[in-house]
Amino acid sequence: MDTRLMTETARAMVATGKGLLAADESAGTCKKRFDSVNVECTEENRRAYREMLFTTPGLADFVSGVILFDETLRQKTKDGTGFAEYLKKNGILPGIKVDAGTQDMALHPGEKVTEGLDKLAARMGEYFKLGARFAKWRAVITIGAGIPSAACIKANAHALARYSAICQEASIVPIVEPEVLLDGDHTAERSESVHQDVLETLFHELERQGVSLEHVILKASMVVSGKDNPRQAPVQEVAERTLRVLRRTVPAALPGLVFLSGGQTDEHATAHLDAMNRAGAAPWPLTFSYSRALQAVALKAWRGSSANMAAAQKALHHRARMNSLAARGQWKPEAEKQSVAA
């Protein structure tokens, strides 16, 4: 375990004004997104799309790392350079999603548990050789009638902790992502309570597994109202509730936190991050690890055509810049309007 390397990696991941681009969609998820713009989901189209994203001029000014899928980590640019090598040469850290997705949890209707621990140590060794320096494991927590159960929360926290230990043994920084889904009609108050239970359990399990908190990045969801709730908590309330639960549960030893967008609109994800950073007084850097909230506009502009590459890259660059400003607490809605006007 190379703690010095992990320290350097973790610090670089949450460098001031920079965040992560989550480009770790499976082929199935990619197909859903490609279908929305009438692009066939072939391996070559996925490769071309990822190359468009990764070769965006100036991306490294705002993005410190990219989370890749197994297929993508093994792919190359059209001139034969491996994606991991290309990113590293351009000042961006390659990362890798390692979980095997969610499955129904036995005896717990409506709840999921994430799988993928089998032979993970061997895979980690290979991923390190392929250039990955950080990894990600996602758990999902659903809010509903009588759920989440304590059993579901603990099972997912235990898996996240075991995964983290395996990562660190391979000198790879683990991102732990216990996503509290916004599906449902729950209130922001209920969301805050669930977030607190989930994070308290997670950090207890990390401690039990001997994981070094100085080399862990938390990928957190924001405390928002359920998407079907008629009262949607305003931006400032989301920021206050999210910060409160994080201060109560997340050790100051962590090098930083990144947020997922979790189905929010592009601008809401940016506005919430900005509001939290404007509030100040957090013991860790707060930045982004967005997928759709960075990629959606680029995908819509690209539509599978190399002729649209410049427009798509411009769209990605803009969203990355907006979120970089938010990570510094310097974003303003006017910046979005100025871009539209331009």
- Residues labelled as active-site residues: 177, 219
Nearest alpha-carbon partner for 118 in 141, 97, 99: 99
Strand 102-104 versus strand 112-114 pairing type: antiparallel
Which SS3 state, helix, strand or coil, does residue 117 take?
A: coil
* Type and span of the H or E element at 262: none
Residues 6/171, Cβ–Cβ less than 8 Å: yes
Please give the backbone phi and psi of residue 220, each rounded to the nearest 5 degrees, phi first: -105, 150
Strands 93-97 vs 63-68: parallel, antiparallel or unpaired: parallel
What is the H or E stretch that residue 68 is in? strand 63-68
Alpha-carbon span 133 to 122, nearest angstrom: 15
Alpha-carbon distance 135 to 169, whole Å? Answer: 12
Of the candidates 275, 147, 310, 135, the one whose C-alpha atom is nearest the C-alpha of residue 217 is: 135
